Amino acid sequence: MTRSFEFKQSGHLNPALFDPATRSLHSDKLAGRWVNANRETQGIAELVIERDGGQFNVSVVVVGADGPISWPTCKARALANLEEEAGQRTMALAAVFDYRFMRAEAYLRVNKGVLVTVLFTTFQDNSGRANYVNREFFYREDRK
């Protein structure tokens, strides 16, 4: 149901939201190649975040039964993250990976140099698998 009324929620009134600089807060901290800190993950092995002007693109490699599987690159939406721990002000990304058999909604953020991804996966193939949520941690691998 859509409601068209407006209300003055305190969070929406943060003056920083009106500052154009907010749209690019430390966005460079997101870009790069990130490797899963858990070498035994059954989820995302690594991902690459690239910035192209105001657009972020996310490329993901997941762990498959027979080896790594590359997902098609996905465009991600940037959101201001103004209330991270220790007063950090940075960006978070929201992405939706939508494939025929599954749909994964994710948010990604960097906290103290660690990329945290939370993925909500919905299966669309009547396989009987439960839709599930998974959180993983990644470290940035410096480019050579």
Partner 1 sequence: MTTVIDTSALVGVWVNSNSASNGIARMVMSESGGSLTLQVCAIGPDSLIDWGREDVSVFTSAPSSRVGAGFTCRYDFGFVETRLLGMILKGLLVLAELHSFKDDSERADYFVREYFALDHATYQVGVLQACEL
Q: Applying CB under 8 A, which residues contact partner 1? A: 1-14, 16-19, 22-23, 77-84, 92, 94, 105, 107, 109, 118, 120-123, 126-135
- C-alpha 135/C-alpha 106 separation (Å) is 10
Least separation in angstroms between residue 37's CB and partner 1 is 17
- Taking the least distance from each CB to partner 1, the nearer of 24 and 141 is 24
Rounded distance, CA 137 to CA 113, Å?
10
Q: How far apart are CA 87 and CA 64, in angstroms?
A: 38
Task: Answer positive or negative: Cα dihedral of 88, 93, 94, 98.
Answer: negative
- Residue 7 has phi, psi (to 5 degrees) of -145, 155
Q: Which is nearer to partner 1, 112 or 135 (CB)?
A: 135
| Shortest spacing between CB 67 and partner 1, in angstroms | 19
Residue whose CB is less far from partner 1, 128 or 143 = 128
Give the count of beta carbons closer than 10 Å to the beta carbon of residue 62: 19
Do 92 and 83 form a contact (C-beta atoms < 8 A)? Answer: no
CB of 91 to partner 1, least distance (A): 8
Residue with Cβ nearer partner 1 (57 or 111): 111
Least distance (Å) from partner 1 to the CB of residue 114? 14
Q: Compare residues 71 and 107 and give the one whose CB is closer to partner 1.
A: 107
Could you tell me the smallest distance in angstroms from the CB atom of residue 33 to partner 1? 23
Q: How many CA atoms lie within 13 A of 38 on its CB side?
A: 14
